[in-house]
C-alpha cells in the first residue's frame, strides 16, 4: 500500500517542527470535505470566544491546520451555495440560480456537461462519494414518466419509486451517493436516496407527535416517511455511511485517492440532536445539535486516523451559509449565544453574518498547524484549489468564479489571491454584493433576505444611515458591523464597485 507507507515520513517531518517541502509535481491527497448546514461563524468556539457551545473537535482541527477568518459562502441559502461549491461558479449565473428547493426539488441547477468538482477529481483518478444532503436539485418522475419538481406533499405522493433519479450526484461526478434530495428532516420527502434510487420508499405520513418539541423543532413540515428513516438520527446514519465508504475504499482501492463530500443535516432546523447528544450542552437543543456536528467532525477525523489516512488527507470543514433566524433569536435570548457573532445579519442576508462562515483546512505537511489566514476566500475556490493540488487543468467554461488558495494555505501568498468576492443573498441575482479589499458594496437596499421591520428580528434592526440610497457601501475594516452606509458619501467607490459587478455579470466570470 504505497500511499500509506509514506505517512511516517510526513509525520516525522511535521514533528520536527518543519513542513514537508512542496513538491513541484502535483500531489493527490485524499480529500474530505465536511459541509455543515447553517452553521454560523459564531457557532464555533475558535471563532467566537463568547460561544456557549463547546466545539472541541473543530477547535482541535483548527489547531492542526489553518483557520480562515474571512471565508465566505457564495450564497446565503442552501441550494445556490451548494451549486457554487460543486461548480466553482456563482449560482446567479445559472438559470433559476437563486432558488431554494424543497421536497425533491429540481431539476438540477447544474447544467448537463458542466465540469464539477467531483467530476474534475474523478478525472484525476479519484474515487468520489457524496454522503448527506444534496440540495442542488434532481429529477424524479411519476408513473407516466413525467418529471416532478413541485414542492408540497402532493408531489411526493406522485413519485414512481421504481424509476431512476436523474440529475443527482451520480450524474455530476460522484461514483457513490447516499443521502437526501433536500433538507433531510424539514419537508415533504423523508427518505434516503442510495445511488440513483430510493430503495425504501416512504409509506406513511410523518407522525410529528413523537418528535421533539421545542422552538428549534418547529421547522418540520408534514410529509411521507420511509420506515428506515430515523428523523432524529439522520446524521448518525450519514456518519455510518461515510465510515463504510472510507473502510471499503481502503480495503478495495487503497492506491486511489478519494474525495468524500460529507454534507450533514446538522445544524439546519429542526434541531433534532441525536439521542446521545441531548442535554450535552447548556445551550439548549440547538446547542446540542451544534455539538453533535462537532462530534461528527471528530469521528470522521478519528476514522481517518484509524485507517491510517489522516496525514494524507486534505480536510476542509465549512458551512453553506450563516445561522438561521429561529436559532439566532432563540439562542440569543435563551442562552446568550450568538451564532452570527460578531457580524451583522444572518442566513439569507447580504450582511456578513449571512455568508461569512467558518472554514478550517488541515493537510499535514503542507499547511502549517495552528495557522490563521485573513485572506478573502470563498467556497467556490475549492475547485481551483483542488485543481492546483491535483494538477487538473480547468477549462475556461468551468469554475468561472474559483481561485486557487493553495499559495495561501502553504503560507506563500503575499498578495490577495482574489481580486474581489461576489456573494448573492436570498433574492438571487437581485441581491448581489461585491467586496474588494476593505470595501463592500451591496447592490440593493436592506438585508437582501430577512425582514427586520417586524417579527423576531425587529429588535436587531439597525437604523438606516442612508435611507434613500438604492444600495449600501461599507468599509469593513473601519466598520465591521456594517452600521454606516457610505453610499452617498463615497460615490466614486460605489461607481467603481458597481461597474465591476456589472462587468462580472456581463462577462460571466470573475476568474481570469
Partner 1 sequence: MASAPALIPFLCRTFTAFVVATFMTATAAPADQADFRALFERAEKGEPSAQLSLAIRYRDGGGVEKDPAAAMLWAHRAADQGHPEALDFVGFAYLRGAMVKRNTPLALAYFQAAAGESAQAAFNLGQCYYGAQGTEQDCAKGLEWWEKAAAMGHGRASAAAAMAYLSGEGVPRDPAKARALAERAANLGNASGLIVLGEMQFQAGDLDAAKASWTKASQLHPTGETGHPAQPSDNASAQQGADLLKLIDYRQRKSEPEKFAFVPMPHIHQGYNNCGATACATFARFQGGEISGWDFKKLCPSPLGTGTDWWHLLDASAKIGQSWKLVTYTPDDAGFEEATAMLRRELDAGRPVVVDFKYIGPQYAGGFAGHTLSVCGYLAEEDLYILCNPAVATPGLQLITAADLKDFWRSDYYGAKANAVLSRPAFVIEVP
User: Which residues sit at the interface with partner 1, rule CB under 8 A?
Assistant: 54, 56, 208-209, 212-215, 217-218, 236, 276-282, 284-285, 291-292, 295, 299, 326, 329-330, 333-335, 454-456, 459
27 burial type by CB count under 10 A (0-12 exposed, 13-18 middle, 19+ buried): middle
Whichever of 7 and 236 has its CB closer to partner 1, that residue is 236
Cβ atoms of residues 123 and 91 within 8 Å = no
In the complex, least distance from residue 293 CB atom to partner 1, rounded to whole angstroms: 12
Tell me whether strands 30-36 and 258-263 are parallel, antiparallel or unpaired: parallel
Cβ proximity to partner 1, 204 vs 306, nearer residue: 306
**How is the beta sheet containing 258-263 ordered, strand by strand?**
193-194, 176-180, 127-133, 258-263, 30-36, 313-319, 359-362, 66-68, 371-373
Smallest distance from partner 1 to CB 267, Å: 15
Q: Tell me whether residue 210 is exposed, middle or buried, using C-beta atoms within 10 angstroms of its C-beta: 0 to 12, 13 to 18, 19 or more.
A: exposed
Are 443 and 433 within 8 A, CB to CB? yes
Rounded Cα–Cα distance for residues 510 and 304 (Å): 35
Half-sphere exposure of 184 (CA within 13 A, CB side): 29
Instruction: Please report how close the Cβ of residue 331 comes to partner 1 at its closest, in angstroms.
Output: 11
What is the C-alpha to C-alpha distance for residues 196 and 272, in angstroms, rounded to an integer?
A: 26
CB of 218 to partner 1, least distance (A): 5
Q: How far, CA to CA in Å, does 87 sit from each of 323, 394, 413?
A: 23, 11, 24
Cα–Cα separations (whole angstroms), residue 340 to 188, 230, 335, 358: 29, 30, 14, 11
CA distance 124 to 127: 9
Min CB(64)–partner 1 separation in Å:
17
**From the CB of 327, what's the least distance to partner 1, in Å?**
11
Closest to partner 1 by CB, 211 or 429:
211
Q: Considering beta carbons, is residue 155 or 326 the nearer one to partner 1?
A: 326
Residue 161 or 460: which CB sits closer to partner 1?
Answer: 460
Distances 495 to 438, 444, 471, 490 between C-alpha atoms, Å: 16, 14, 11, 9
Shortest distance (Å) from residue 57 CB to partner 1: 9
Residue 294 CB, nearest approach to partner 1 (Å): 9
- For residues 74 and 449, which CB has a smaller minimum distance to partner 1 in the complex? 449
* Residue 342 C-beta: closest distance to partner 1, Å: 21
- In this complex, which beta carbon is closest to partner 1, that of residue 66 or of residue 331? 331
Nearer to partner 1, 232 or 352 (CB): 232
> Which has the closest alpha carbon to 85: 419, 430, 399?
399
Give the C-alpha separation, 352 to 358, whole Å. Answer: 12
Residue 133 CB, shortest distance to partner 1, in Å, is 20
Provide the grid cell at 157: 405522493
- CB closer to partner 1 out of 338 and 381: 338
Residue 328 or 486 with smaller CB distance to partner 1: 328
By the 8 A CB rule, do 428 and 95 touch? no
Shortest distance, position 103 Cβ to partner 1, whole Å: 22
Comparison of 286 and 511: residue with beta carbon closer to partner 1? 286
From residue 8, how far is each of 274, 309, 325 by CA, in Å? 36, 11, 47
Q: Strand locations in 39-169, DSSP E?
A: 66-68, 71-72, 127-133, 140-141, 147-148
Amino acid at each position: 500500500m504505497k500511499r500509506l507507507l509514506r505517512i511516517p515520513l510526513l509525520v516525522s517531518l511535521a514533528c520536527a517542527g518543519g513542513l514537508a517541502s512542496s513538491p513541484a509535481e502535483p500531489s493527490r491527497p485524499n480529500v474530505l470535505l465536511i459541509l455543515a448546514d447553517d452553521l454560523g461563524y459564531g457557532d464555533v468556539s475558535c471563532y467566537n470566544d463568547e460561544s456557549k457551545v463547546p466545539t472541541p473537535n473543530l477547535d482541535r482541527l483548527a489547531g492542526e491546520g489553518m483557520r480562515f477568518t474571512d471565508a465566505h459562502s457564495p450564497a446565503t441559502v442552501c441550494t445556490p451555495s451548494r451549486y457554487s461549491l460543486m461548480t466553482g461558479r456563482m449560482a446567479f449565473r445559472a438559470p433559476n440560480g437563486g432558488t431554494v428547493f424543497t421536497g425533491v426539488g429540481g431539476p438540477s441547477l447544474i447544467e448537463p456537461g458542466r465540469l464539477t468538482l467531483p467530476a474534475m477529481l474523478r478525472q484525476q483518478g479519484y474515487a468520489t462519494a457524496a454522503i448527506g444532503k444534496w440540495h442542488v436539485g434532481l429529477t424524479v418522475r411519476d408513473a407516466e414518466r413525467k418529471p416532478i419538481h413541485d414542492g408540497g406533499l402532493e408531489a411526493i405522493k406522485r413519485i414512481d419509486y421504481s424509476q431512476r433519479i436523474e440529475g443527482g450526484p451520480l450524474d455530476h461526478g460522484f461514483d457513490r451517493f447516499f443521502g437526501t434530495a433536500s433538507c433531510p428532516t424539514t419537508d415533504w420527502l423523508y427518505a434516503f436516496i442510495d445511488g440513483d434510487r430510493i430503495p425504501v420508499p416512504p409509506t406513511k405520513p410523518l407522525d410529528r407527535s413523537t418528535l421533539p418539541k421545542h422552538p428549534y423543532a418547529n421547522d418540520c413540515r408534514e410529509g411521507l416517511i420511509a420506515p428506515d428513516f430515523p428523523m432524529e438520527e439522520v446524521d448518525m446514519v450519514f456518519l455510518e455511511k461515510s465510515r463504510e465508504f472510507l473502510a471499503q475504499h481502503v480495503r478495495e482501492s487503497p492506491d486511489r485517492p478519494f474525495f468524500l463530500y460529507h454534507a450533514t443535516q446538522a445544524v439546519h432546523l429542526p434541531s433534532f440532536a441525536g439521542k446521545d447528544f441531548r442535554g450535552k450542552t447548556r445551550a439548549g437543543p440547538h446547542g446540542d445539535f451544534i455539538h453533535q456536528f462537532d462530534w461528527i467532525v471528530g469521528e470522521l477525523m478519528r476514522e481517518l486516523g484509524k485507517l491510517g489516512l489522516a496525514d494524507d488527507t486534505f480536510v476542509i470543514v465549512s458551512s453553506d451559509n450563516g445561522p438561521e433566524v429561529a436559532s439566532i433569536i432563540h439562542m440569543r435570548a435563551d442562552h446568550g449565544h450568538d451564532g452570527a457573532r460578531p457580524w451583522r445579519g444572518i442566513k439569507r442576508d447580504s450582511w456578513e453574518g449571512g455568508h461569512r462562515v467558518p472554514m478550517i483546512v488541515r493537510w499535514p505537511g503542507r499547511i502549517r498547524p495552528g495557522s490563521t489566514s485573513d485572506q478573502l476566500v470563498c467556497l467556490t475556490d475549492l475547485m481551483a484549489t483542488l485543481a492546483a493540488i491535483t494538477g487538473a487543468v480547468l477549462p475556461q467554461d468551468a469554475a468561472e468564479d474559483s481561485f486557487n488558495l493553495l499559495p495561501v494555505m502553504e503560507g506563500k501568498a503575499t498578495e490577495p489571491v482574489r481580486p474581489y468576492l461576489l456573494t448573492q443573498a436570498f433574492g438571487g441575482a437581485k441581491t448581489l454584493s461585491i467586496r474588494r479589499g476593505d470595501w463592500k458594496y451591496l447592490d440593493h437596499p436592506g438585508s437582501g433576505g430577512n425582514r427586520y421591520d417586524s417579527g423576531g428580528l425587529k429588535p436587531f434592526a439597525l437604523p438606516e444611515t442612508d435611507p434613500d440610497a438604492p444600495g449600501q457601501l461599507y468599509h469593513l475594516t473601519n466598520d465591521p458591523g456594517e452600521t454606516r452606509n457610505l453610499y452617498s458619501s463615497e460615490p466614486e467607490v460605489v461607481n467603481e464597485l458597481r461597474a465591476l459587478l456589472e462587468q462580472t455579470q456581463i462577462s460571466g466570470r470573475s476568474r481570469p
